[in-house]
Amino acid sequence: MIFDARRPVLITGGAGFIGANLAHRLLSDGQPVLVYDNLSRTGVADNLAWLRERHGAHMEVQVADVRDSLLLRRAVKRSCRVFHMAAQVAVTTSLSDPIQDFEVNARGTLNLLEAIRAVPEPPPLLYTSSGKIYGALAGLELDNTEGRYLPKNPQARAAGVAESHPLDFHSPYGCSKGAADQYVLDYARMYQLPAVVFRLGSVYGPHQRGTEDQGWVAHFLLRALRGEPITIYGDGRQVRDVLHVDDLIEAMCRAQVKLARVAGRAFNVGGGVDNALSLRDLLDVIRRLHGSVPEVRFGPWRLADQRYYVADIAALVEAAGWRPRISAEQGVRELYDSMRETFGERRGPVRTVHAPAQVAARS
């Protein structure tokens, strides 16, 4: 998809998991791309090397931070569109260093908005927010049924969490992403910037380096391949809708094409109810793929963890004509095969440790 063959698309955080996959899609279509990334996260240098190997002649790289307003302004001034993905991405990290979390997520986004506002013809902006800004989803009563949490409300169970659900910022991460989310929407309203917000849930796919703090699907698969134990915080009945990164990128591209219909709006973007998995469900998928699961340990619930978050994607389906194509089963299988080739496979002793009584009792 070529937006402007003369000027690059700016992707902040362009060497990260989602950014690298988006850059690959655009570059493959012939669109010049400017990757703007400080390369601070583990694995992003490898992603950048992968992009350079395939698209070096058509890709520019600016090793810089979104907290550097001067360099950011220069990058924006040259760009035809902006995808803003640079972020501090973990709740746990925000709890240990809330100031850095704010500076990157909130102030960095404000720097970008000011850079866009300074351009005579502001480039369209797509900002990747988070479903975490809904907090613990107060008022969404849950049943514990069939080994997973599900809403008692029939409409919420059938469709998921809609954009009309009240925002409730939990954790410094929730506050910083929520502030950035609202700033983008307000700049669209006050300054008529052509901007749209995507509130993401659990995105997974190639070039993701999952950890305990972020990217749980890739983290579980990597642990299984390495024969290392998996720690579940809580009881494992937490439910998330998983979205393959290729489907997310298709949604982003369609939103740009349908900009007149989506500008100034926020959309919950995920796999929807058809691609909802509990943590225990993913362990069952791993057992089918891998033949076994590694040792599973249980720890206490973590602060700000949502027992249920599934995105109601109806608004984006209606506005952009998009819906996920890759099922959770297919996408996880493809990611498992890819990771097995990349990281190898080690099979160690397998032992499943069931949730202790005091943890299970809280479900």
**Catalytic residue list contains 173:** yes
What would the two tokens of residue 245 be?
Answer: 């990164």
Q: How is 285-352 classified by DSSP, letter by letter?
A: HHHHHHSS---EEEEPPPTT--SEE-B--HHHHHHH-----S-HHHHHHHHHHHHHHHH--------B
Contact 170, 132 (CB under 8 A): yes
DSSP string, 159-198: H-B-TTSPP---HHHHHHHHHHHHHHHHHHHHS---EEEE
Of the candidates 36, 134, 149, 173, the residue annotated as catalytic is 173
* Beta bridge partner(s), residue 202: 242
CB 61 within 8 Å of CB 35: yes
Tokens of 259: 């900009």
CA distance 156 to 211: 29
Q: Which of 57, 8, 5 is nearest to 35 (CA)?
A: 8
Alpha carbon distance 359, 363 (integer Å): 7
Nearest to 262 by CA among 179, 176, 180, 199: 199
User: Considering Cα of 147, then 148, then 152, then 156, what sign does the dihedral take?
Assistant: negative
Please state, in angstroms and rounded to a whole number, the distance separating the CA atoms of residues 311 and 47: 28
Q: Are 62 and 34 in contact (CB under 8 A)?
A: yes
Q: How far apart are CA 284 and CA 68, in angstroms?
A: 45
Count Cβ neighbours within 10 Å for each residue of 299-337 and write b for 16 or more, e otherwise. Answer: eeeeebebbbbbbbbbbbeebbebebebebeebbeebbe
Would you please indicate which residues are annotated as catalytic (active-site) residues? Answer: 173
